[in-house]
Amino acid sequence: MLRIKIYNFSLSFLSLFLSLLIYSDALAGEEEAEERNRVYRLSTHEEHVGALESAFKSAGKSVLVTNYGNLYTSVLKTPLFTTIIPEARHRNVQVYFRFNYSDKESRYSPIPSEVEKYFHNYGINAAWTQTHAKIVAVDSKLVMVGSFNWLSDLTVPVHYRSFNSTLVFEGDEACRMTDDIWKVLKYYRNKEFGEYNRTNHRKAYLFKRNPDNQLSRQYVLDDESTLTYVPVIEEHRRKLLDIFERAKKRIVIFSPFVSWDGVNTYQRDFVRNLLTTVLERNVSVCFVCLPDHEKRYRDYLGDLFNYSNLKLKTFPHLHAKTIIMDDKLIGEGSFNWLCAARDEIYHTHKHEATLIFEGSKAKDFIQSFYQTDLGRLASEDVYVEHSSSDNKKRKYDEKLPPRKKLKPNFSDEERFFSDRRMEIEKDMWVHYPFWTKYSDDYIYLVYGKYFEIMSGERFNREGYCVRINKQEYLRDDQNIKYFNDIQKAKEATYTNSTK
Residue 195 CA to residue 256 CA, distance in Å, equals: 33
Judged by DSSP in three states, 416 sits in: helix
Q: Residue-wise pLDDT tens for the chain (499 aa)? A: 444 444 454 545 445 544 555 544 444 444 444 456 799 999 999 999 999 999 999 999 999 999 998 889 999 999 999 999 999 999 999 999 999 865 455 566 778 999 999 999 999 999 988 899 999 999 989 999 999 999 999 999 998 899 999 999 998 888 889 999 999 999 999 988 887 888 998 899 889 888 888 889 999 887 789 999 999 999 999 999 999 999 999 999 999 999 999 999 999 999 999 999 999 999 999 999 999 999 999 999 999 999 999 999 999 999 999 999 999 999 999 999 999 999 998 988 999 999 999 998 899 999 999 988 888 998 765 433 333 334 333 333 434 444 444 445 557 888 999 999 999 999 998 888 887 654 444 444 555 667 788 888 777 888 888 888 778 889 988 889 999 988 888 888 888 777 6
Query: Rg of the Cα trace of the chain?
Result: 27
Cα separation, 125 vs 185, in Å, equals 14
- Structural domains in the chain, sorted by start: 38-209 (3.30.870.10), 220-430 (3.30.870.10), 434-497 (no CATH)
Collapse the DSSP code of 299 into the 3-class scheme (helix H, G, I; strand E, B; otherwise coil) and give the result: helix
The beta-strand segments (E) located in 352-435 are 354-359
* 430, β-bridge pairs: none
User: What residues have CB less than 8 Å from 176, skipping those under 6 apart?
Assistant: 217, 219
The torsion angles phi and psi of 420, rounded to 5 degrees, stand at: -65, -40
At CA 144, angle to CA 141 and CA 150, rounded to 5? 125
Whole-number pLDDT of residue 490: 87
**What pLDDT sits at residue 27?**
43
- Number of H helices and E strands in the chain, helices first, is 15, 21
Residues 374 and 163 sit within 8 Å (Cβ to Cβ): yes
At residue 43, what is the residue type?
S
272-280 and 233-246 helices cross at what angle (nearest 10)? Answer: 30
